[in-house]
Amino acid sequence: MAISSLLKGDHRALAKAITLIENNDPRAAKVIRNVFPYTGRAFVIGVTGPPGAGKSTLVDKLIAHYRHKSKSVGVLAIDPSSAFTGGALLGDRVRMQSHNLDPNVFIRSMASRGGVGGLAKATRNAIRLLDASGKDVVIVETVGAGQSEVEIVKVSDATVVVTVPQLGDEVQIFKAGLMEIGDIFVVNKADLLGADRMVTYLMSGIISKEGWKPPIVKTNAKTGEGVEELAMALEKRKTFISGGKQAEKRQTERISAELAVLVTERMSETFSKALVNDDELERIAKLVVGKRMDPETAAKKLFTKLWKKMVA
């Protein structure tokens, strides 16, 4: 891997490195180790919300805004679903292609391999690559599909929840847990009937976190209305989280959570290997097949035996 090219912002080196990470290639760890000291400069914006809310169009306009301010931008479009729905998402992506020839804009789709956990890890490390490559702003867009929204909070400095005025949609935003994760709320397609109702609804549910009260911004991504306001809200958020002690505490908490996951993963691997080499598994499985033991009880027994053996 050409680490030096990557650090200079070379898009080909960046693309190759992200592929290594996406494929969980053994070389990925080394790349991250090498670029890690150069991370921590980019402002990371997470954009989430239901399908059809206009997230991609909004991201497109945000890119234009930052480019106008001479800032470089990296975009990761996260797709937690299969190859099937990937088709639909790719359509959205096309809208962002107006920036495709701009050497200061890097756009990349990332698909799920190895489940949500694997994707979260890959996203986190892809952000690090974009960060180290010198991108001033990194935008992570995720389709509103379950656990991925919750994961986006852990990697973003500002999580933007994009909603649209639509009858019945309010309840779904609550159900999906989006109220809890938003640092900024956008009511997009604000020209549609019910926009003010949506704003009122969001206001009633907004939760202040660590002294930050999430603002609500009305936009019309297609015409660009409200995008400047959104950018201002993002700037405020950036200033807010850059502040001293609080920022360090936040970072330590995030890294602790990441380490906990990595360590538990290692543990699982070690244990799985021990399990594969153990005759006890098949013996107990046969008891379960014969209905002489239920799976939970069997797992408990197997765990105790294996644990004793491993620590012996």
Cα(43)–Cα(213) distance, rounded to whole angstroms? Answer: 19
Query: Which residues, 93 to 112, sit near its own copies by CB under 8 A?
Result: 112
Does 130 sit near its own copies (CB under 8 A)?
A: no
Check binding of 117 to its own copies (CB under 8 A): yes
Q: Return d(Cα 2, Cα 58) in angstroms, integer.
A: 33
Stretch of 9-17, 145-153, 190-198, 220-228 lying at the interface with its own copies (CB under 8 A): 145-153
Q: Is 241 in the site for its own copies (CB under 8 A)?
A: no
In the complex, least distance from residue 69 CB atom to its own copies, rounded to whole angstroms: 27
Nearer to its own copies, 77 or 227 (CB): 77
Interacting positions 170-209 with its own copies (CB under 8 A): 172, 175-176
Q: How far apart are CA 246 and CA 188, in angstroms?
A: 31
Rg of the chain's alpha carbons, rounded to an integer? 22
- 159: number of Cβ within 10 Å: 26
Q: Where are the beta strands (DSSP E) in the chain?
A: 43-48, 73-79, 105-111, 137-142, 158-163, 184-187, 216-218
Q: Shortest gap between Cβ of 104 and its own copies (angstroms)? A: 25
Q: At 289, list the tokens.
A: 């097949």
Half-sphere exposure of 101 (CA within 13 A, CB side): 1
Question: Least distance (Å) from its own copies to the CB of residue 250?
Answer: 10
* CA distance linking residue 157 with residue 146, whole number of Å: 20
With contacts defined by CB under 8 A, name the span among 15-23, 199-207, 222-230, 284-292 that binds its own copies. Answer: 284-292
Interface contacts to its own copies, rule CB under 8 A: 29, 32-33, 36-37, 39-40, 50-51, 80-87, 112, 115-117, 144-147, 149, 172, 175-176, 248, 251-252, 255-256, 258-260, 262-268, 270-272, 275-276, 281-282, 284-286, 288-289, 291, 294-300, 302-303, 306-307, 310-311
